[in-house]
A and B are shown apart, each in its own frame.
Chain A
Amino acid sequence: MTQSLRPGSREPAFLLAPGLFFLLIAFFFPTLQLLAQSVIAVGSEAGRLTLEHYAKAFSDDFYAGIAFRTFKLSIIITAICLLIGFPLAVAMSRAGRGVRTLLILIIVLPLMTSVVIRTFGWLVILGPGGVLSWTLNALGLIDNSVSLMHTETGIVIAMVQVLLPFLVLTTLGSLNQIPKSLEEAARVMGAGFFRGIRHVTLPMSVPGLASGSVLVFALSISSFITPSLVGGVRLPVVAGSIYQQMTGSFDWGFGAALSVLLLIATLVLIVPYMVLTSRMGGR
């Protein structure tokens, strides 16, 4: 439990000050700088306020295509994460202690490995003459080389592996809050396995599934390392083209405008997420 303070105690203020000051300078200020940069003109009109960067983002069909691809892929990735993640989380919540620890290791170990390294693994698997191609040949399913590199299927396969742990862990948190007695009660009252899942487990894990999928979607629309390496230049996504604008073409105003649009898309998702999680008691 927390302790009540004598009136006028400055103790928490002293403890919080260094961290808050740091966040203000190093986190909130850069984010504001990004917003500012997106509405400041460059070139002959330098310094003037302008919406030209946004106009460029909206008028160019090329960027509309990129935005469409990013959203489409993120929806598919989130849906597949839900399909795989929910049964996995249910299995984890019901497994014995040993199996449970093993499963958590299987989920956490990839999560804690650098995204660059996991993507590297997928490049070797999906690439021409890679593991997938070799396995399919060995099984006699195909008799030539296949490659999922530079395909949307390839991006989805790699991204689901990268993001699945976020959905599983969030859902597991919400499953652990379901009293065991509820599921038992359903059984005793004659509900079969699937009815128990459908009418008790699934509805009660909705907060976890919802916040997990919002997290996966938000991470998905803003990731660039995996889509850029697997998809290559032929299949650009929003985050990848922002990286390109910032470090390749140095069009910072435009890069900033694209980032602000991405930020807005993310916030639209995150706000309900925060409401949900705070209703769940906060994590």
Chain B
Amino acid sequence: MTKATPRAVVWAAIFFIAAVAIYMLVPLLIVVASSLSTSEFLVFPPPGLSLRWYGEILNSDAYLSAGWTSLKLALITVVVSLSLGTPAAIALSRFRFRGRSVISSLFLSPLLLPSLIFAIGLLMVFSRYGDGPSFAGLVIGHTVITLPYVIRTVSANLADLDPHLDEAARIMGARWWQRYFLVILPQCKTGMAAGGFFVFNISFDDAVVALFMRAPNVETLPMRIYSTLEFSPNPSVAAVSTVMIAMTIVLVMLLNRIFGLSKIV
């Protein structure tokens, strides 16, 4: 195969790939570089290097409480989304029943509808029938947008496994809870782990639902970053963003370890 590919094409491909790699990664690298600046302003090139902005965010109540809110929100969303999505994924991948493909599309539909539109609807519902946007509203919003990922990873995981184990357990007289907690759920754990990482990442990073469901006293990191960028960008935002990029790298590495990236994307 490679032998027949003209040499000029190979060189063009290498050059092209390098250019795209730079283009894709440069915004992230620039954010990391800006966080190390000594300057009060976002200037390039930075006049000197320091870690002062990391010290600054560690002393900032606003960033710390936004970070805590984001972390709490992401962890609760992981739990809620996994507990609603896993049983549904089990039903969709293990049973044949009428309307299965319709129900499957219903579960994946939040993936296709722009989250902006859903977020507006949710804001209206919360304002009309409740006390307006709240932390619980954010959990609900994030659960909706992350549920498809749980369905997909758990279903993909189950598709690779032996369904006869459950049948064997059934024949051997296992009660329903024994079958689910001792046979089926342990088989789902890789899919649940991968799904959980996706859910955490999406919830932690989301700004669309968060900006519409902006409640007084509830501020997440992406909301804080967005409003800082609108008014007065400074290196402390870069430091917070760098911490978030580092978390993303760790998550992507873990996903690669557990699942193999080429399998899930």
Interface size bracket, A side: 35 or more
A247 to chain B: closest CB distance in Å?
7
Bound together, the chains give a CA A103 to CA B212 distance in angstroms of: 34
Bound together, the chains give a CA A4 to CA B96 distance in angstroms of: 6
Bound together, the chains give a CA A129 to CA B95 distance in angstroms of: 60
Contact of B114 among A114, A124, A184, A222 (CB under 8 A): A222
Is A104 among interface residues, defined by CB-CB distance under 8 A?
A: yes
Is A263 among interface residues, defined by CB-CB distance under 8 A?
A: yes
B85 to chain A: closest CB distance in Å?
6
In B214-265, the 8 Å CB interface with A consists of 214, 222, 225-226, 229-230, 233, 237-238, 241, 244-245, 248-249, 251-252, 256, 261-262, 265
Chain B residue contacts of A124, Cβ below 8 A: 30-31, 34, 42, 44, 233, 238
Bound together, the chains give a CA A115 to CA B205 distance in angstroms of: 8
Is A242 among interface residues, defined by CB-CB distance under 8 A?
A: yes
A110→B24 contact, CB < 8 A: yes
Contact of B84 among A18, A117, A224 (CB under 8 A): A18
Bound together, the chains give a CA A88 to CA B13 distance in angstroms of: 8
> Provided the pairs A124-B31, A193-B9 are in contact, do residues A109 and B95 lie with their beta carbons within 8 angstroms?
no
Is B48 among interface residues, defined by CB-CB distance under 8 A?
A: no
A84→B249 contact, CB < 8 A: no
Query: Which of B50-58, B61-69, B99-107, B187-195 has 4 or more CB atoms under 8 Å from chain A?
Result: B99-107
Bound together, the chains give a CA A218 to CA B242 distance in angstroms of: 29
B84→A256 contact, CB < 8 A: no
Q: Is the interface of A mostly helix, strand, loop or mixed?
A: helix
B182 to chain A: closest CB distance in Å?
16
B125 to chain A: closest CB distance in Å?
5
Chain A residue contacts of B49, Cβ below 8 A: none
Contact of A101 among B6, B107, B121, B262 (CB under 8 A): B262
Chain B residue contacts of A131, Cβ below 8 A: 26, 30, 44
Is B140 among interface residues, defined by CB-CB distance under 8 A?
A: yes
A154 to chain B: closest CB distance in Å?
12
Contact of B24 among A27, A117, A164 (CB under 8 A): A164
In A105-122, the 8 Å CB interface with B consists of 105-110, 112-122
> Provided the pairs A34-B124, A229-B230 are in contact, do residues A125 and B30 lie with their beta carbons within 8 angstroms?
yes
Is B199 among interface residues, defined by CB-CB distance under 8 A?
A: no
List the A residue with the shortest CB-CB distance to B230.
Answer: A229
Is B73 among interface residues, defined by CB-CB distance under 8 A?
A: no
Using a CB–CB cutoff of 8 Å, the interface residues on chain A facing chain B are 1-5, 11-12, 14-16, 18-20, 22-23, 26-27, 29-34, 37, 84, 87-88, 91, 94, 100-101, 103-110, 112-125, 127, 129-131, 134, 158, 161, 164-165, 169, 172, 183-184, 187, 192-193, 218-219, 222-225, 229, 239, 242-243, 246-247, 252, 255-256, 259, 262-263, 266, 270, 273-274, 283
The 9 closest A-B pairs by CB, nearest first: A121-B27, A30-B121, A222-B114, A114-B205, A15-B91, A19-B88, A34-B121, A15-B87, A12-B91
In the complex, besides A5-B97, A124-B31, A131-B30, 7 extra interface pairs with C-beta distance below 8 angstroms are A16-B88, A16-B92, A18-B87, A26-B141, A31-B117, A121-B31, A270-B112
Pull 10 A–B residue pairs with CB atoms less than 8 Å apart, ordered by A.
A5-B97, A91-B13, A108-B261, A109-B25, A110-B28, A114-B204, A116-B226, A117-B244, A218-B114, A262-B116
Using a CB–CB cutoff of 8 Å, the interface residues on chain B facing chain A are 1, 4-6, 9, 13, 16-17, 20-21, 23-31, 34, 42-45, 83-85, 87-88, 90-97, 103, 105-107, 109-110, 112-114, 116-118, 120-125, 128, 140-141, 143-144, 147, 152, 163, 166-167, 176, 201, 204-208, 211-212, 214, 222, 225-226, 229-230, 233, 237-238, 241, 244-245, 248-249, 251-252, 256, 261-262, 265
